[in-house]
Amino acid sequence: DVKVTQSSRYLVKRTGEKVFLECVQDMDHENMFWYRQDPGLGLRLIYFSYDVKMKEKGDIPEGYSVSREKKERFSLILESASTNQTSMYLCASSFRAVRVRLTEAFFGQGTRLTVV
């Protein structure tokens, strides 16, 4: 059974703290993604990685950084948490497409982060 595992389901942090969200996949996928999900806004891409040590900015990278030292692990870092970063964070992974075609994205269960 394929799996994407996020380190925490729920997290409460104080404003200004450095926050680490961890994601591990066991499917040998090349691609990994971090999204945030807010009501009425759909999923917004923060960062993605298509290979180890490679990272690319998504649509809303400000205030975030990422790390991918190993193929199976992709970490999202909030450098200095702020209340507007309160959200549901979703990690996903997928195979790299051979042609221009969407491949299946497998998602973790999400981390609901509250910044107070």
Size of the site for another protein (CB under 8 A): 28
Q: Is 47 a residue that touches another protein (CB under 8 A)?
A: no
CB atoms within 10 A of CB 61: 15
> Which one, 14 or 28, has the nearer CB to another protein?
28
In the set 31, 75, 85, 87, which binds another protein (CB under 8 A)? 31
**CA separation for the pair 103, 100 (Å, rounded):** 9
In the set 75, 85, 87, 94, which binds another protein (CB under 8 A)? 94
Q: Is 108 a residue that touches another protein (CB under 8 A)?
A: yes
In the set 17, 51, 79, 104, which binds another protein (CB under 8 A)? 104
Q: Is 52 a residue that touches another protein (CB under 8 A)?
A: no
**CA separation for the pair 2, 76 (Å, rounded):** 21
**CA separation for the pair 6, 2 (Å, rounded):** 14
In 14-110, beta strands by DSSP E: 19-25, 31-38, 42-49, 56-57, 64-70, 73-78, 87-94, 106-107
In the set 25, 66, 74, 110, which binds another protein (CB under 8 A)? 110
